Amino acid sequence: MRLKTFLIGFAAGTVFLFAVFAGGWLERYYHLPILDRLGRRPQNSPTIVQREIVNEESVVTKVAAEAAPSVVTVSITKQQISFGNLGISPLDPFGFFRAQPTKKKIQQDIGTGFVVDAKGLVITNKHVVADTNAQYRVITKKNKIYPVKAIYRDPTNDLAILKIDANLPPLRLGNSDNLKVGQLAIAIGTALGKFRQTVTVGVISGLGRGIMAGSPLQGFVERLDNVIQTDAAINPGNSGGPLLNSSGQVMGINVAVAQSAQNIGFAIPINVVKAALKDFKTTGEFQRPFLGVRYQMISRQAALLNDVPQGAYVRAVIANSPADKAGIKPGDILVKFAGQRLDSNNKLAKLVNRMKVGQVVAVQIWRNGKMRNLKVKLEVRGIK
């Protein structure tokens, strides 16, 4: 009986010692936290949560440090005319006079941009440089100032390219088609037009959003489709700055913030920029396919009420445009474009922008109660 008890105790002790030594060996050579699981974690060893926090912090600091030399502040310089206040004329107590107009030079940080080519090409938003009567300059992290020599504005997207005489490192452009909701997002920009190189961190909150972007005060507002939503803090002044992933690649251009909410910002997918940049480097301008109609989308409800098909109602056709040459007339309803039915999700402008200059596209129209099929060859519309 004693022998049996001794053998059981010896076996149990042997198993325990083997588990301890094996756990320590595995933890040492394979970094497996066996001791944590046995409840014998040394007091000074970090927990898994601490390791994750340290890893995330190191990723953000590394990305911010590497991107900073390529992120610039966009500043505006213009003359502002002030007419002063009304006052009482000393010669006529019943009359009023206005002071002589005075000119005042204004310099202010208004947005952000980032370098996409070492030859001096900087990307920003079109609404940041919407004032064609003003002068612009870019300011680097080291406070070096470069006057903007030329501005190229995209006619269909809220994008602009600034040309400066500088040799700055460009950021790496990623692939926004691979984005997933929940992945890390890092924004860098001149927050509120005051705080340069502000870094904020969040996640990709949503994809494929549709928003109105721009500045009503500057007379520029446009609808942007398929934009990225993020909860990384984006403020006025961040417009035009990069939205980066954990590898330091640009995944989008920060473009807008939801005014009525907190931590809801939006960015243009970088793949849109890459396509525009490729055209620009080839032709020296933004090239977009041009159809040449002014139209209004007919909703499903309106189509049912008026007994017409849903589509794009043509209000006007520009003379000598591709639409004019193809035989499209005012009053026609474009029902299909390139084989896709036109509706609230597939708007005409969106489909046209997917095409290439010179491409021949099949168009189905409704005219006087009958369907007709036409062919239209898209031409270039470039704006410098």
| H/E segment holding residue 7 | helix 2-30
Catalytic site includes residue 158:
yes
d(CA 234, CA 105): 28
Hey, what are 276's tokens? 């525009």
CATH for 288-383 is 2.30.42.10
Per-residue pLDDT band at 84 (split at 50, 70, 90): low
- 239 noted as active-site residue: yes
Distance, in Å, from the CA atom of 347 to the CA atom of 252, rounded to the nearest integer, reads: 23
For residue 134, what are its two tokens?
């003003």
Q: Which helix (H) or strand (E) holds 49?
A: helix 48-67
Report how far residue 218's alpha carbon sits from residue 240's, in angstroms, rounded to the nearest whole number: 16
How long, in residues, is the chain? 384
Cα 376 versus chain centre, distance: 32
Helix extents (H) in 106-174: none
Q: Is the confidence at residue 324, as pLDDT, over 60?
A: yes
pLDDT at 2: 54
**Active-site position among 154, 158, 279, 332:** 158
Buried b (16+ CB within 10 A) or exposed e, 284-316: ebbbbbbbbbebebbeeeebeeeeebbbbbbee
Q: What is the per-residue pLDDT across 297-319, written as a single tens digit (0 to 9) for each?
A: 898 888 888 899 999 999 999 88
- DSSP secondary structure, 331-357, as one string: T-EEEEETTEE-SSSS-HHHHHHHS-T
Point out the catalytic residue in the list 70, 75, 176, 239: 239
Provide the phi-psi class of 311: left if phi over 0, else alpha when psi is between -120 and 50, else beta.
left
Which option is the CATH number for 73-163: 2.40.10.10, 2.60.40.10, 1.10.260.40, 1.10.760.10? 2.40.10.10
pLDDT at res. 46: 52
**Residue 75 or residue 2, greater confidence:** 75
* Beta pairing class for 220-230 and 195-215: antiparallel
- Say if CB 350 and CB 373 are below 8 A apart: no
Alpha-carbon distance 367 to 331, whole Å? 7
Token reading at 145: 């100032």
Sign of CA pseudo-dihedral 301, 306, 307, 312? negative
Let me know if the fold of 73-163 is the same as that of 176-283: yes
Res. 363: pLDDT tops 60: yes
What count of other Cβ atoms lies within 10 Å of the Cβ of residue 136?
A: 24
Residue 20: what pLDDT? 47
For 8, the 3-state DSSP assignment is: helix
pLDDT at 151 over 50: yes
Per-residue DSSP letters for 251-295? EEEEEEE-TTSSS-EEEEEHHHHHHHHHHHHHHSSEEEEE--EEE
Average pLDDT of the chain is 79
Per-residue pLDDT at 212: 65
Superfamily of chain region 176-283: Trypsin-like serine proteases (2.40.10.10)
The arithmetic mean of pLDDT across residues 224-237, rounded, is 84
Task: Spell out the residues 6+ positions from residue 34 whose beta carbon is closer than 8 angstroms to its own.
Answer: 22, 23, 24, 26, 27
Of 70, 75, 109, 127, the catalytic one is 127
Which residue ranges make up each domain of the chain?
14-41, 73-163, 176-283, 288-383
Comparing 97-111, 165-179, 236-250, the range with the smallest average pLDDT is 97-111
Report, as an integer, the average pLDDT of 176-181.
Answer: 91
